[in-house]
Chains A and B, each alone.
Chain A
Amino acid sequence: NAGVMQNPRHLVRRRGQEARLRCSPMKGHSHVYWYRQLPEEGLKFMVYLQKENIIDESGMPKERFSAEFPKEGPSILRIQQVVRGDSAAYFCASSPGAGVGEQYFGPGTRLTVT
């Protein structure tokens, strides 16, 4: 039973480019969460999605960031016109349903903006 998969594992972008991070939840999980981790800090919630719906995006920056979880395919976190401050590790987690407690985390995508 494959766990949460994220790709790419490492991504380097120049300032102004776009970054696309992908997350495939565990089999049978329809709830996806994105978190960002700055160096030496804990994870900070960004967005919670179910298939085709954004449920809670209270942690998403208002500009340049967007997320989707289409009916088919992985969840995508998209960062437009990246800046150096976007450099971080981005983690995706999934769960089988709402309010079930444990979330299963992927290995993360480390984004470096040069």
Chain B
Amino acid sequence: SQQGEEDPQALSIQEGENATMNCSYKTSINNLQWYRQNSGRGLVHLILIRSNEREKHSGRLRVTLDTSKKSSSLLITASRAADTASYFCATDFLYNTDKLIFGTGTRLQVFP
């Protein structure tokens, strides 16, 4: 079964607004990653957060991780039309780090 479930499934906002996406997972992990996928394209790695980290920043991205709740959030601040894409969280398993289990994704639409 899918390890990660993302919420919301779809999100539409205006340029300049912040976008928050959430991801929940089921088992203990070593790390959690967020990827972006533009329509019909490959995946671009955004950020990796390890299980012993609680928050991480990269440019306009802020990721939090709550291992007690088995959840993570991705915040994109001051969104741009170019941020329009699908966003996926991906986790490994604590005892099997070799494959990523992807969530169902959030489709973000940023209107100019």
Contacts and interface: CB of A to CB of B under 8 A. Distances in A.
Interface residues of A, number: 26
B61 interface: no
Interface of A: 31, 33, 35, 41-45, 48, 55-56, 58-59, 91, 93, 98-99, 101-108, 110
Given A101-B30, A101-B48, A102-B48, A33 B42 contact: no
Nearest to A33: B99
A59 to B, nearest CB: 7
Contacts of B40: 110
B11 interface: no
Contact of A42 (B30, B41, B92, B104): B104
B84 to A, nearest CB: 16
A41 B6 CA distance: 11
